[in-house]
Amino acid sequence: MRSVRHVILWGLIAALGAGSLGRVALSRGESINAAWLLTAAICTYLIGYRFYARFIATKIFALDADRATPALRKSDGHDYVPTNRWVVFGHHFAAIAGPGPLVGPTLAAQFGYLPGALWIVIGVVVGGAVQDFVILCASVRRDGRSLGQMAKDEIGPVAGITALVAVLGIMIVLISVLALVVVNALKSSPWGTVTITLTIPIAMFMGLYLRFLRPDRVLEASAIGVAMLVGALWAGQWVAANPALAPLFTLSGPTIALLIMAYGFAASVLPVWLLLAPRDYLSAFVKIGVVVALAIGILLVLPPLAMPAVTQFIDGSGPVFSGKVFPFVFITIACGAISGFHALIASGTTPKLLAREPDAVLVGYGAMLTESLVAIMALIAACVLTPGVYFAINAPVAAIGTTAESAALAVAQWGFVLQPGEMDALARSVGETSLLSRTGGAPSLAVGMAHLFDRALGGGGMALWYHFAIMFEALFILTTLDAGTRVGRFMLQDLGGQLWPRFRDVTWQPAVWIASALFVSCWGYFLYQGVTDPLGGINSLWPLFGMANQLLAAVALCVGTTVIIRMGKARYAWTTLVPLCWLLIVVFTAGWQKLFSADPRIGFLSHANKFSALHAAGTLPPGIESLDALPRMVFNDRLDAAVAAFFLLSVIVIVVDSVRTWLAVISGRQPAGSTEVPAQSVSLFVAD
């Protein structure tokens, strides 16, 4: 009886999902409601979770509730702590979800909602969630080892070192591109600048409060912090309306970039309890609150999607970033579909908290599905805007000029409608002077979310909601940036320590300062290059970031495949090989085009050649003010090309090394022998 009900229930979910997906994919010429997209996504997730995740759990890893996890075996009261699965889920989700799943889908909306939506939904079920889950299981079976250690143990020392260096490079690109998103959101916006600046003293106040006034009252301090954030929002509005103060906080892009670098440096050398930890607590609560609010807003309003399913920009001529829908939609949306960074977290704190092996399904696979849902909601929020408004906000100056008239003209040429007064009215309603060419995704997402919240709650609050959205996006990004800078500093100190052991000492101030300054100047260089780039920077840096993230995912899937093959389960290795092959096809196509495409809008090298020819001829390209800027841009193009080439080469090394191991194991030259820690029964251990 139960099995009949089961079949009927899942049959209904499958039918509902397939029907909604069909409606989303096949509707042409009429706008469809966001509800269809949401239903299609959720039904697909449910089916993936119920059937595919369980298949991997039972057939490959044979997860066993009686097999003790590292949390139980090595329980030490701080690192290894058996924890309730919903708590681990929340912890893991808060660690993996950041600005990535919000910004990527917003940028990819230039192709229309369909390509992004399909990649997010299918990519996560077959790729991203599988990667997180497999790495989590592998790490749980190996005492919570990190991805780098597993790459070294499973594949070989060359792969291990390559993975380590690649992670450092990827972090530099990640931090610079996210910082660029913040700069573009705060540029010439006194309201936003004041609000974000105030979050720093608020965090420091919380840190001091927790250290000296009321130790251990984290929730109390966080509640005060959240209340102060709301106050910061009002303070920003007040400053922006004050004619004497507003100009002081109306900053140019390069100034904000330098301030952010100073902040990153400070966060890396200051004690963590003062700035990093309280900021993280605040950001975690805001993160969960915003995700819930966004879901409620979308459910209450159920907006129609104003963006067409597919735009003409799939041919590669898009203004937000150049390149055809294949491979660039798969590069632009990394987090939300598949993100290599998650593999670092799934092999970091999480495996040391898991109380029972079967909990890995909820934590590894389930948390990634939830992040994917966040990406779908961000896509919906971006597609709520009319295409005219979306492109006016996201296209760089070089494409739409600097006035409302030139923007309206450019948008009309693309076949969309933008009334000349529309952008001014919109900017005024959100309390900004201009919304033209606010590239990076954060402003357009904030406008979309403000629309949703405003409609859900009855109107009148656009300006507050807009700045609320900007504030939390910047808060997410700055928490990634400061924690990332600190980790980068440790990695540099560790590398430097190979040459000069004293450099490794994390309490020795000269080493701390030098390593921090070095790491900040690495990402700061790319950030500054992006801020001063007349094409907007996002154009060149976001694809670089997407490639880096997907390449890290490829490394993780190589490790996962090796683990599965060495377990003697080669017949199931397709579960990780399929997403791995897809990623390699996507990333190498994109990388090849970014390096060698003859189209200067796509290829770094052809762009460099074009600009050096222009420089030699003494002609100024549109949007560029002086000839002196050209040699710098040429150098930056070549540097970006070198970085892309370095990422691709590292992955080739790791893939070749992995395939060698796979063939050796399959042909029997190398014994299969799993490197798992031997199974021990739960009954041998007693939890605290």
Partner 1 sequence: MLRLRRWAQLLRTIIGVPDYERYVCHMRAHHADAPLLTPTEFCTARLNARYSRPGSRCC
Q: What minimum distance in Å lies between the beta carbon of 353 and partner 1?
A: 8
Q: Taking a C-beta distance cutoff of 8 angstroms, is the pair 40, 309 a contact? A: no
Nearest to 364 by CA among 676, 677, 69, 66: 69
Backbone angles phi, psi at 681, to 5 degrees: -75, 145
Q: Which stretch binds partner 1 (CB under 8 A): 70-78, 257-265, 439-447, 466-474?
A: 70-78
Report the C-alpha gap between 544 and 170 in whole angstroms: 9
Comparing CB distances to partner 1, the nearer of 24 and 478 is 478
Q: What minimum distance in Å lies between the beta carbon of 261 and partner 1?
A: 18
Beta bridge partners of 681: 67
Out of 39, 69, 110, 146, name the contact with partner 1 by CB under 8 A: 146
Size of the site for partner 1 (CB under 8 A): 61
State which amino acid sits at residue 284: A
Q: What minimum distance in Å lies between the beta carbon of 484 and partner 1?
A: 6
Helix (H) or strand (E) holding 213: none
> Is residue 369 near partner 1 by the rule CB under 8 A?
no
Comparing CB distances to partner 1, the nearer of 40 and 151 is 151
Q: What minimum distance in Å lies between the beta carbon of 612 and partner 1?
A: 33
Tell me which residues in 667-686 interact with partner 1 (CB under 8 A). none
Out of 17, 48, 70, 100, name the contact with partner 1 by CB under 8 A: 100
DSSP line for 524-557? HHHHHHHHH-TT-SHHHHHHHHHHHHHHHHHHHH
> Is residue 96 near partner 1 by the rule CB under 8 A?
yes
3-state secondary structure of 336: coil
Tell me which residues in 306-345 interact with partner 1 (CB under 8 A). 334-335, 339, 341-342, 344-345
Tell me which residues in 162-191 interact with partner 1 (CB under 8 A). 167, 171, 174, 178
Q: What minimum distance in Å lies between the beta carbon of 137 and partner 1?
A: 16
Q: What minimum distance in Å lies between the beta carbon of 299 and partner 1?
A: 23
Q: How far separated are the first and last CA of the chain, in Å rounded?
A: 41
Comparing CB distances to partner 1, the nearer of 351 and 448 is 351
Percent of residues in the chain assigned helix, strand, coil, to nearest 5 = 75, 0, 25
Comparing CB distances to partner 1, the nearer of 39 and 146 is 146
> Is residue 73 near partner 1 by the rule CB under 8 A?
no
Q: What minimum distance in Å lies between the beta carbon of 488 and partner 1?
A: 8
> Is residue 218 near partner 1 by the rule CB under 8 A?
yes
Q: Which stretch binds partner 1 (CB under 8 A): 79-87, 236-244, 631-639, 664-672?
A: 79-87
> Is residue 505 near partner 1 by the rule CB under 8 A?
no
Q: Taking a C-beta distance cutoff of 8 angstroms, is the pair 104, 546 a contact? A: yes
Nearest to 192 by CA among 418, 447, 397, 19: 447
Give CA 547 to chain center in angstroms: 12
Tell me which residues in 436-495 interact with partner 1 (CB under 8 A). 479-480, 483-484, 486-487, 490-491
Report the C-alpha gap between 576 and 540 in whole angstroms: 30
Report the C-alpha gap between 515 and 518 in whole angstroms: 5
State which amino acid sits at residue 226: V
> Is residue 629 near partner 1 by the rule CB under 8 A?
no
For residue 561, give every residue at least 6 positions away whose Cβ sits within 8 Å of its Cβ, in sequence order, or none. 573, 576, 577, 580, 658, 662
Q: Taking a C-beta distance cutoff of 8 angstroms, is the pair 196, 474 a contact? A: yes
Q: What minimum distance in Å lies between the beta carbon of 490 and partner 1?
A: 5
Q: What minimum distance in Å lies between the beta carbon of 311 and partner 1?
A: 26
Comparing CB distances to partner 1, the nearer of 295 and 306 is 295
Q: Which stretch binds partner 1 (CB under 8 A): 7-15, 93-101, 574-582, 633-641?
A: 93-101
Burial of 74 (0-12, 13-18, 19+ CB in 10 A): middle
> Is residue 98 near partner 1 by the rule CB under 8 A?
yes
Q: What minimum distance in Å lies between the beta carbon of 502 and partner 1?
A: 17
Comparing CB distances to partner 1, the nearer of 285 and 592 is 285
Tell me which residues in 191-210 interact with partner 1 (CB under 8 A). none
DSSP state of 78: S
Report the C-alpha gap between 594 and 608 in whole angstroms: 12
Comparing CB distances to partner 1, the nearer of 196 and 483 is 483
Backbone angles phi, psi at 33, to 5 degrees: -85, 145
Report the C-alpha gap between 230 and 191 in whole angstroms: 13
Comparing CB distances to partner 1, the nearer of 437 and 479 is 479
Report the C-alpha gap between 203 and 192 in whole angstroms: 17
Output the six-digit token pair for 245: 């103060």
Q: Which stretch binds partner 1 (CB under 8 A): 211-219, 428-436, 583-591, 672-680?
A: 211-219
Q: What minimum distance in Å lies between the beta carbon of 136 and partner 1?
A: 12
Give CA 60 to chain center in angstroms: 29
Beta bridge partners of 33: 304
Nearest-10 crossing angle of helices 574-596, 604-617: 10
Q: What minimum distance in Å lies between the beta carbon of 273 and partner 1?
A: 6
> Is residue 41 near partner 1 by the rule CB under 8 A?
no
> Is residue 156 near partner 1 by the rule CB under 8 A?
no
Q: What minimum distance in Å lies between the beta carbon of 664 and partner 1?
A: 29
Nearest to 172 by CA among 474, 470, 492, 472: 492
Comparing CB distances to partner 1, the nearer of 210 and 361 is 210
Helix (H) or strand (E) holding 170: helix 157-186
Tell me which residues in 256-285 interact with partner 1 (CB under 8 A). 271-273, 276-277, 280-281, 284-285
Nearest to 555 by CA among 647, 646, 672, 664: 647
Backbone angles phi, psi at 336, to 5 degrees: 105, -35
> Is residue 136 near partner 1 by the rule CB under 8 A?
no
Output the six-digit token pair for 466: 């807009």
> Is residue 227 near partner 1 by the rule CB under 8 A?
no
List contacts with partner 1 (CB under 8 A): 75-79, 81, 83-84, 86-87, 90-91, 94-100, 146-147, 167, 171, 174, 178, 211, 215-216, 218-219, 222, 271-273, 276-277, 280-281, 284-285, 334-335, 339, 341-342, 344-345, 347-349, 479-480, 483-484, 486-487, 490-491, 506, 549, 688
